[in-house]
Amino acid sequence: MTALSSVNCSIQHLLHQSKQPLDVNYLLFLIILGKVLLNILILGMKRKGTYWSFMEYFCFSLAFVDLLLLVNISILSYFKDFVVLGIRFTKYHICLLTEIISFTYGFLHYPVCLLACIDYWLNLSRATRHSSQRQRLLYFLTVILTWISVLAYVLGDPAISASLKTHRIYVHQCPSYVSTQSNWLSLSMLMVLFVAFLISWPEVVALIQAIRIASYMNKAILYFPFPLHSGCTMISRKTLLPRLIVCFLGTWFPFVALQVLILSLRVQIPAYIEMNIPWLYFVNSFLIAAVYWFNCHKLYLRDSMLPTDPFINWKCCFVPVPRLKQVERPISIIIC
């Protein structure tokens, strides 16, 4: 009877342990580790030879911050309770650090998109596409200043400070800030895409039917046939719009569908997950298309002036089929 009671107690103990929720710190570690691996994958997949813009610098800085967060979570989880320079660190600081990072990430969407848009707008008429040393230094300092400014705002805001202090009682739940900036940006981009598609859907369908696949520089590319005139090809904004839509959706359609699903279901994603490199490159492609469409009258397309994107080769929007072999040489095409 005693042995049976012991077996029952052991079974109940095992069942009780199986019902315990997964350790929050361990779950955070797995999430951040997955995000770091995704960062490495995306940065390795991007097209080579594109000049470094502000968005490129910020994406690499975000990958570095994610890696730094992973290292800190690992150290705090391993040592659990230790003192450094008179400051005691415990497992509580894992949640505190994650919450601070969440607030910082959550307030970065608008500044980063605005700075990237200004960068593309100002560099539209540059003579060369390769960034000078001075411009690279300016990008680097701008990225550092952006991080410092947003972090200072987060730490100095009384409402956020009160929220961080309140969350101390939820150590085992580790709540995270959910940003609304990315939702509004996603909704705005989806609305613009929807309106643009409604305006030019017959041209989009005709363009998809006219797309051809060719091999160029040992790579499979898509090009859109359109007639040539002597010396210069004038392309109106109405003609350019369906090409931009097809190029954008051809690359980012799964991500667009994901954004529609997230907004439709009102999924609450913590900001430390929501701010990620795939999302930034998605926004980056949208900004490039928008800036070049709005400023098409300023474009004098040469090889060094063609829009650059880590994932979309915008050349197929501008270069006609007979000149495909001359892409590497200056092209006298004007988009108006």
Full residue range of the structural domain in which residue 74 is found = 21-335
Count of the separate structural domains present in the chain: 1
Distances (CA, A) of 86 to 72, 81, 82, 83, 89: 18, 13, 10, 6, 10
Q: How many Å apart are CA 19 and CA 21, to the nearest integer?
A: 6
State the DSSP code for 325. Answer: G
Asked whether residue 97 is domain-assigned, the answer is yes
Handedness of CA 318, 292, 281, 187 (dihedral sign): negative
pLDDT at site 58: 95
pLDDT at site 145: 97
State the DSSP code for 171. Answer: T
pLDDT at site 152: 93
Asked whether residue 324 is domain-assigned, the answer is yes
Asked whether residue 1 is domain-assigned, the answer is no
Phi, psi torsion values for 30, nearest 5 degrees: -65, -40
Asked whether residue 91 is domain-assigned, the answer is yes
291 in Cβ contact with 120 (< 8 Å): yes
Handedness of CA 129, 133, 135, 138 (dihedral sign): positive
Beta bridge partners of 222: 213
pLDDT at site 256: 94
Q: How many Å apart are CA 135 and CA 138, to the nearest integer?
A: 5
Asked whether residue 3 is domain-assigned, the answer is no
3-state SS, residue 63: helix
Asked whether residue 251 is domain-assigned, the answer is yes
Task: Count the alpha carbons within 13 Å of 106 in the hemisphere toward its beta carbon.
Answer: 18
Asked whether residue 284 is domain-assigned, the answer is yes
Asked whether residue 11 is domain-assigned, the answer is no
Q: Are strands 234-235 and 333-335 parallel, antiparallel or unpaired?
A: parallel
DSSP string covering 185-240, please? HHHHHHHHHHHHHHHHHHHHHHHHHH-EEEEETTEEEEE------SS--EE-HHHH
DSSP string covering 111-129, please? HHHHHHHHHHHHTTT-S-S
Q: What is the pLDDT along the chain (336 residues), one digit of tens a residue?
A: 444 344 344 434 433 433 444 466 778 889 899 999 999 999 888 877 677 889 999 999 999 999 999 998 888 877 776 666 666 666 777 788 888 899 999 999 999 999 999 988 887 756 445 567 888 899 999 999 999 999 999 988 887 777 666 655 454 566 678 888 999 999 999 999 999 999 988 888 887 777 766 665 566 566 666 554 433 445 567 777 888 888 898 889 999 999 999 999 988 888 899 999 999 999 999 998 898 788 776 665 544 455 578 888 776 665 554 444 444 433 333 333
Distances (CA, A) of 252 to 73, 123, 178, 190, 336: 32, 24, 24, 12, 26
Contacts with 90 (C-beta within 8 Å, 6 or more apart), sequence order:
76, 80, 81
3-state SS, residue 88: strand
3-state SS, residue 265: helix
Q: How many Å apart are CA 275 and CA 186, to the nearest integer?
A: 12
